[in-house]
Amino acid sequence: MSQPQLTILVVEDDDFVRSLLQHVLSTSDYNVIASGEAGMALKLARQHQPDLILTDITMPGINGIDLIKMIRQDEALNNTPILALTAYRYILEEEVMNAGANVVLAKPFDLTYLLSEIERLTAGDEAKTISDPTPPAPCAPAHQA
C-alpha cells in the first residue's frame, strides 16, 4: 500500500516561479495547490489543510510575513510547516523566522536543495533553520608562528 500523497500549498506572485514550483513539486509526486496572492492562499490553506506551505515573502497586498503570522494564529493551521522564499533573505530572515517560518531560503534557490528541505519538513523535522545551500567561502589556513 503506497503512502498518501502529501499536499503543498505554493504562494508566489511571480507567475513563472509559481509555475516552475508547481511543475517540480508535481513531478516529485506532491499534490500542489497554488495561489498568486496571500488572501486566497489563506482560504485555500483552510480548505485543503496542506502538509506544507511554501510562500514567497515580498508580494503585493498581504505579504508573506503577514501570511505566516495569520497561519500561526489559525488553530487548524498553526502546526503546518512553512518554508519561506525571499530575494531579500539577509535583510528579512530574522523577521520571517520570528513570524513563524520553519525555513527561509534565498532566491534564487537550488531546486534539489529545496526538495530536500521539503522532504525534511514533511517527514516531521520541523526544527527552525535558516538555510543556505551555498557553501561558505573557504578560509585561509591559520598562520603558524
Spell out the domains of the chain, with CATH numbers in brackets. 7-130 (3.40.50.2300)
Residue that has been written with the C-alpha cell 513570524 in this structure: 99
Residue with cell string 516561479: 17
The helix/strand/coil state of 144 is coil
- pLDDT tens digit string along 24-59? 999 999 999 999 999 999 999 999 999 999 999 999
Question: pLDDT band for position 129 (50/70/90)?
Answer: low
pLDDT at 143 over 50: no
Q: Is the pLDDT of residue 121 over 60?
A: yes
31 with 5: CB under 8 angstroms? Answer: yes
